[in-house]
Amino acid sequence: MDNILRIANLKDDEYQALFGVRRSTFEAMLAILEDEFEQLHKQGGRPPRLSVLDKLVVTLGYYREYRTMHHIGFDYGVSKSRISDAVKWVEDTLLKSGTFSLPSKRELLKSDTDIEIVINEI
């Protein structure tokens, strides 16, 4: 997949529909991730299988669509562990920047929603 060309042709309103964030937020996230990537790879090294842009698209898609890492990995031709590593790196990098945050586990547990599980025996 060539996400650079595909994303370059998106209209502003398509960012929200596809990624769940506005174009400005997407670009801010990408800038933070690219800066961190440059810092980590100053000495060079083997080129990554997933670009920084791919890692961001994978992470936002994972949250937005609830697809399995196995299926996302298949689309990108990489293992599910590589997808997991990419999502973790994006989360950690964006949180470390201080610009973005996620709700704490305590806030998530305070939810008003009652979850009911029904199991039928056959």
How does pLDDT run across 6-49, given as a tens digit for each residue?
888 889 889 888 888 889 999 999 999 999 999 888 887 788 88
Domain ranges for the chain, please list them: 3-99
C-alpha 54/C-alpha 87 separation (Å) is 10
pLDDT band at residue 50 using 50, 70 and 90 as cut-offs = very high
13 and 24 in contact (C-beta within 8 Å)?
no
In the predicted model, what is the mean pLDDT of residues 97-112?
69
User: How far apart are the C-alpha atoms of 98 and 101, rounded to whole Å?
Assistant: 7
Q: Where are the alpha helices (DSSP H) in 41-113?
A: 52-65, 69-76, 80-97, 105-109
Query: How confident is the model at residue 105, as a pLDDT?
Result: 60
pLDDT score of 40: 86
Distance CA 49, CA 80 (A): 13
